[in-house]
Structures are given as structure tokens and as C-alpha cells.
Amino acid sequence: MIAPIAALGLASLAAAAPTSTGPAYPETSASNGFNLVLNVTDPSQDLSPPVHGTFVASIHVGPALNYVGQSSDASVARLFYVNGTASDVRYGNSNTVSDGGTPPFSEVLSLVPDKDSETLSTLFLNAGSGGDGNYRTGITGFPNPIPELYPLTYVACREALAYYGGKEFVIIKQAQTTVGEDGQIERNIPEGCAPLSLLPQCATLNDLPAGSTSSHEFAASTRCYEDVDSIDWPKYHAY
């Protein structure tokens, strides 16, 4: 299993290695394609069955409409790429895309605010980039030492979907961090949900067949891990 990283935090990583002489982080590679791996940052809050170490997948709920969920089956993991120019990526104006359908068309990650919450948004993977969602997602770059999907923090929650007659699925959402009146940081993790970081695992971006409306022309080179599951997180530290 993947050892949680964000749960440790940089300070905890440092405390775990008091004799270290400098920061040390897992080696990263680069690719223009990647899968996203769920990293539960507080093991005590993982779901049952656990979602830690599983892959981001999609849950079809209509024509070109998908919730973002998870699966332990790597063969159904969605293949993503960050779409944008170097300037777009640098200044956070890119978006994160996966090709879907036949012939392939672009499905874009977006965050849509939950109507009954001031801090929670649901992650969707729908065709195009229209609508009211926040489409500015990507993989953190320099100076962030850990590449992960932004904005932070994600959560995995069980939710009944009407499209499937009320059957429960694990849905990925994003919880906005706020600061209370007392100055305390509030992570706003909903009860019963697992806090996550979504880590990119390098993957080969496929060639598109004739007739595709998707384009990989601006698929950016992205930092990623060759094998998230093999990372021995306790070896690493911030100081």
C-alpha cells in the first residue's frame, strides 16, 4: 500500500528524520500523460473498503457527463494530460483533460460548488469546458516539492446517485480550506469522507485515431511518479 504523504505534512516529515541535513523528496519523472492515484492523508479516515492507492476513474451519468470516482482496477483508470501552453501552465490557466468516447473527444475536470455547502465542490469530468464549474486544475509545479492535483484538498465521499437508482458510489470532491475567526485553519473535511491528495503516476499518452476531436498539441510535460505504490515515504523529509 502507498504510505500517506500529505497526512504527515512537511513538519512531520522533518520530525521523522531529526538527523537529516537537508530536504529529501521522492524522485519524479516527467510525462505528458498520467493517471491519478488516491492518497488518503489520514489513514484513520479511510473508507471501507479502503480507497487509498486506488485510481481515479469516471462514473457515467449521462451523455458526456461523468462524476469522478475511483477504482482499484488500473485498466479502467482515466488517462489525463494537462492542456495548455507553457505560459498557461506556469500561471495556472491550464486545464486537466481526459479523452473519452468514440471517436475521442475532450472531457475536462471541473469543480462545481455543492448547493448545500459553502466549502465543498464536486469533481466532474464532462465534455468541453463550458458551464459554471472551475476548470483551472493542474499538477503543482516548482517550488512545490510534491506534484499533486490542485486546488487542494480532495476528499472521497460515499454518495447515492439517482442515475443508478440510488446506488452508492465513492465520489471525489474538493474541500476548501478556510480560516476561522479565531485564526485557526479549518480544513472542512466532511464527516464520513476520506481526505486525499491526488498524485500523478506517469503514463504514456496514446496516439489519437482519425476523426478525433481531441488534440494533444498542447499536452504539457508534467512532473509525475513512475510508480506511486513503490514510494517509501518515511525515507523522505523536508529538512
Q: Tell me: the pLDDT tens digits for 80-99?
A: 999 999 898 888 889 999 99
Task: Please choose, from the candidates 61, 38, 60, 35, the residue with its C-alpha nearest in 3D space to the C-alpha of residue 49.
Answer: 38
Question: Would residue 173 count as lying in a domain?
Answer: yes
Residue identified by cell 461523468 is 66
Lowest model confidence (mean pLDDT) among 21-25, 73-77, 122-126, 204-208: 21-25
Average pLDDT, the chain: 90
Question: Would residue 121 count as lying in a domain?
Answer: yes
Question: Would residue 237 count as lying in a domain?
Answer: no
Lowest model confidence (mean pLDDT) among 65-79, 121-135, 143-157: 121-135
Question: Would residue 100 count as lying in a domain?
Answer: yes
The overall pTM is greater than 0.85: yes
pLDDT at 9: 47
Is 60 exceeded by the pLDDT of residue 7?
no
Residues forming a β-bridge with 58: 68
In which domain, by residue range, is 114 found?
A: 67-229
**Distant-in-sequence contacts of 182-189, Cβ < 8 A, 24+ apart:** 187/153, 188/119, 188/120, 189/45, 189/153, 189/155
Q: Give whichever of 63-67, 114-118, 170-174 has the largest mean pLDDT.
A: 170-174
Confidence of residue 128 (pLDDT cuts 50, 70, 90): confident
The mean pLDDT value for 106-119 works out to: 95
Residues forming a β-bridge with 161: 167
Higher-confidence residue: 230 or 131? Answer: 230
Question: Would residue 151 count as lying in a domain?
Answer: yes
Residue identified by cell 498539441 is 217
Task: State pLDDT tens for residues 12-67.
Answer: 444 444 555 789 999 999 999 999 999 999 999 999 999 999 999 999 999 889 99
| Number of domains observed in the structure of the chain | 1
Question: Would residue 177 count as lying in a domain?
Answer: yes
The mean pLDDT value for 142-153 works out to: 93
Question: Would residue 6 count as lying in a domain?
Answer: no
